[in-house]
Amino acid sequence: MEKLRFSFITYGCKLNYSEYSTIKRNLLNLGYQYVSWYTFANIYIINSCSITENAEKDLFVFIRKIKKINKKAYIILLGCFTHKLYKTENILKNVNLILGTKDKFDLPYYLKLKNKNKNYISISKNYYKSSVSLDETRTRSFLKIQDGCDYKCSYCPIPNFRGRSRSENISNIIKTIKKLALLNIKEIVLTGINLGNFGNFGFNKTKYDLFYLFNQMEQNLTANIRIRISSIEPNLLNNRIISLISKSKLFVPHFHFPLQSGSNYILNKMKRRYNVKRYIKNVKKILNIIPDACVGTDIIVGFPGEKEANFLETYKLLKSLELAYIQVFPYSERENTDAYFMKETIPKIMRSKRSKIIRLLSKKKKKNYCLKHLFKHYRVLFEKTKKNGYIFGFTDTYISSKIKWKPNLIKKFKAVKLIKIDNYNNMECQIL
């Protein structure tokens, strides 16, 4: 019998990506055949994100394109965006199956019902158990170790979709990393919705927090792999974690912690749990202990009430901090959040103007960060990427590095010297 062909696309955060990998792997194990997006398939799956502003519009564009390729295609919508669907009848006319953040893991079960000529929707409201998700097809793998969030940042709809914070069992995490190492995965990115909140098992906070987990990992993992942390809330990044990473044989010195605004007034309105002083203290602490560390951040511009003066505070703060990169997001309204009802909204044109200014600043920061590392020695993990005759990889400190293409470098760690910087902030290197 011919295998059913499925095509699968995912949006949003690293966590969504790792969940996509798990679902995809389950379908492959069941004998489905994966084909790339917009090629002929029997089943098309969209793993959605609630953050995408034009999610609904994009969805209909997708559906139209898919129908052009295969009129009879079975279309499935998964994930966060499904929790925002109010007029499901309209969507169900075009999509055959809709599964929420919990239900999407039961996709194989729903696929068995597929021949009954009926469209299904299942968006469970109850909270679900956290799961370990991984992707063993690449050099790097995203490993979800925490899900949900107990915070209530005023702009964020995520806790509505993903429920309260809960964590994966520590021994399962260690076992999974060992398995990944056996599959020749060289870098693991630990992901979660609010990773710093690790330690809630069955909704009760325990003493087995993120620091405890990292310590256990240090003691129990000897494989030739490196571990990167995707992101930590500024109030949850503590001295013990910084100090452990500074001496670690596993964890790389890359800290991504989202500032969101450099104005205490706006941070308050956002219901963030730190202030500017605390943020600055954290950055300085990291760079005092690990001078070459990569520190990156996220910024939201155009939040309701963000006056020019507040934006300038953000700009000046970002300029003064030794950051390696800034990811900027123009504020966009999300239903069912406190910020949605706030007055003093900022015109979209202003939001995009402010985004551009921060993006330019980020470019300069990135360049300065690379220059700071010029002629220094680092470890690079080379990946499969081949572009313009080069093979690419990242240093532990998250600098994109390249060297003339040599296939035997794929998935290898190499000690290198960074010798040149190109126009895209990649650094050419020499193997030592």
Residues lying near ligand SF4 in the complex (CB under 6 A) are found at 149, 151-153, 156, 158-159, 193-194, 233
Task: Tell me whether residue 7 or residue 260 sits nearer to ligand SF4 (CB atom).
Answer: 260
The answer to whether 190 touches 248, Cβ cutoff 8 Å, is no
CB of 189 to ligand SF4, least distance (A): 17
In the complex, what is the shortest distance from the CB of residue 270 to ligand SF4, in angstroms, rounded to a whole number?
Answer: 8
Q: List, as one string, the DSSP characters of 171-207.
A: HHHHHHHHHHHHTT--EEEEE-SSGGGTTEETTEE-S
Return the number of other C-beta atoms located less than 10 Å from residue 81's C-beta.
Answer: 25
| Backbone phi, psi, residue 116, to 5° | -85, 15
Cβ at position 149, least distance to ligand SF4 in Å: 3
* Closest CB 287 distance from ligand SF4, rounded Å: 24
Instruction: Kindly tell me which of 255 and 378 has the beta carbon lying closer to ligand SF4.
Output: 255
Rounded least distance, CB 353 to ligand SF4, Å = 24
Nearer to ligand SF4, 130 or 401 (CB): 130
How far from the centroid of its chain's Cα atoms is residue 124's Cα? Answer: 24
- Alpha-carbon distance 429 to 9, whole Å? 34
In a 3-state reduction of DSSP, which class is residue 150?
Answer: coil
Instruction: Give min distance, CB of 154 to ligand SF4, in A.
Output: 9
Alpha-carbon span 192 to 3, nearest angstrom: 34
Tokens in use for 303?
Answer: 């939040």
Q: Which of 168/396 has CB closer to ligand SF4? A: 168
Q: Which is nearer to ligand SF4, 337 or 395 (CB)?
A: 337
Between residues 151 and 208, which has the closer beta carbon with respect to ligand SF4? Answer: 151
DSSP letters, 270-331, are TT-S--HHHHHHHHHHHHHH-TT-EEEEEEEES-TT--HHHHHHHHHHHHHS--SEEEEEE-
